[in-house]
Structure 1
Amino acid sequence: MRSKLVAAAERLFDRHGFTATGMDRLTEATGASSRTVYKHVGSKTALMATVLTKRDRRFMRRLDVRSVDALFAALEDWVRVEGARGCLFLKTYGETGGDTPEIAQVVLTHKDAVRARIADIVALDIGGSGDPDLTEQIVILFEGATAAAVYRGAEAVAAARAAAGILVSRMRP
C-alpha cells in the first residue's frame, strides 16, 4: 500500500504541485481512506520528502554516465519518459519557500549530489581533476534545459547538449 501511495503522490505532486495536492486528491487517486494514507505515510510533508527521496534515487541512477554528452542524453531520455514539467525538487522548494526542513534537506542534498556527479562526469570527460568553471557552466545548462523543457520539450535539452559539447571540446587537451 505504501508504494502505491508514494507512486500516486509523485504523479500528483509533479502535475499539480505540493500545495495544490490535498489529501483528498491523494485518497481519491489511491482509493484509500485518509486514515490509511496517514497510517502509511504520515503527514503530507513526510510524504513529499519520501517522494523526493525515491525520485532522487531514480534520477541519480540515470546519471550514471561517463561523458557530458551522455549526461544530456540521459536528461533527454528522462524528459521523454518522465515528462517535462520542470524539476520537482525546485518546484517543491519554491512552493515551501525553503522553510520546511524535511523538504529543504532532501532538495539541497539532491542538488548537491547532482552537482557533485556533474563534476565527476566533467573530470572524466576532459581528463584530470576537472574544471570548476566548466562544471558550473554544465550545471547551469543542465538545470536550464530542465526548466526550458517545460515549454520547449526535449528540444531544449538537445540545445543545451550541443552547447555543452562546445564547452567541453574547448577544454579537452
Structure 2
Amino acid sequence: MDIRTKLIAAAERVFDRHGFTATGMDRLTEAAGLSSRTLYKHAGSKTALIAAVLTERDRRFMQRLEVESVDALFAALEDWIAAEGARGCLFLRAAGETGGDTPEIAERVAAHKEAFRARIAAIVARETGREDAALAEQILVLFEGATAAASYRGAAAVKAARTAAAVLVAGARR
C-alpha cells in the first residue's frame, strides 16, 4: 500500500470515529504512522485530506450499491454497517461539521448525494420497469433514515426500512 492510500485509509477511520473538527493533524499522523512532514506532503492540508477521504468513501460506498433491486440495496446497507459500523452518513457529518462553507467538501458531499440519488432512481426504474421519481425519493429517505437510525437502533433500523421499501415497491408494481 502506498503512502497516500495508507494515509487516506487511516484518516477515514479517525474521522469516522472522532469527527472532522475534533481530529487534529497530530492524531492523524499517529494513526497513519507518518511524520507530520510526510502527512502534509501527501495530503496538502486537512481540508484536502477530508476531501480525499470523502472521494475514497464515495468510491467504496457506491461500489457496494451496484445492485439490481431495492431489496439488494438495503442488503448492501446491512453489509456496509456490519463491516464499517453504524455512525451515520460520513458525508452528512462532514457537511454538518463544516457548515457547508468549505467548497472542496461541499462539492464532494453534493456530488456524492446526487450520484446516490441517481443510483437509487436507476435501481427503482430497473425493478419497476419505469422511472418513478416519487418512489425513488421515498426509497432514498428510507435508506438515509435507516443509516442515521442504525447509529442508535442498530441493524433493526435497516431491517425496518427494508421491509417498508418492499411494501412501497410491491405497491408500485400493481
TM superposition score normalised by structure 2? 0.97
How many Å apart are 1:144 and its aligned residue?
A: 0.2
Which residue pairs with 2:26 in the alignment? 24
What letter is aligned with 1:144? Answer: G
Query: d(CA) in 1 for partners of 2:159 and 2:153?
Result: 10
Q: Does 1:139 align with 2:137?
A: no
How many Å apart are 1:31 and its aligned residue?
A: 2.2
Which residue pairs with 2:46 in the alignment? 44
Q: Does 1:163 align with 2:143?
A: no
How many Å apart are 1:135 and its aligned residue?
A: 0.8
Q: Partner of 2:147: helix, strand, or coil?
A: helix
How many Å apart are 1:2 and its aligned residue?
A: 1.1
Query: d(CA) in 1 for partners of 2:66 and 2:49?
Result: 27
After superposition, the C-alpha distances for 1:43-92 in whole angstroms (9 at most, x for unaligned) are 00000000000010000011111110000000110000111011000001
Q: Does 1:90 align with 2:92?
A: yes
Query: d(CA) in 2 for partners of 1:168 and 1:31?
Result: 48
Cα root mean square deviation, aligned? 0.7
> How many residues end up aligned between the 2 structures?
172
Q: Does 1:153 align with 2:158?
A: no
Identity %: 73
Q: Partner of 1:94: helix, strand, or coil?
A: helix
What letter is aligned with 1:153? Answer: G
Query: d(CA) in 2 for partners of 1:106 and 1:143?
Result: 17
**Any gaps of 5 or more consecutive residues in structure 1?**
none
The one of 51, 58, 68 aligned to 1:56: 58
Runs of 4+ in structure 1 over 2 Å off = none
What letter is aligned with 1:134? Answer: L
Query: d(CA) in 1 for partners of 2:62 and 2:26?
Result: 31
TM superposition score normalised by structure 1? 0.98
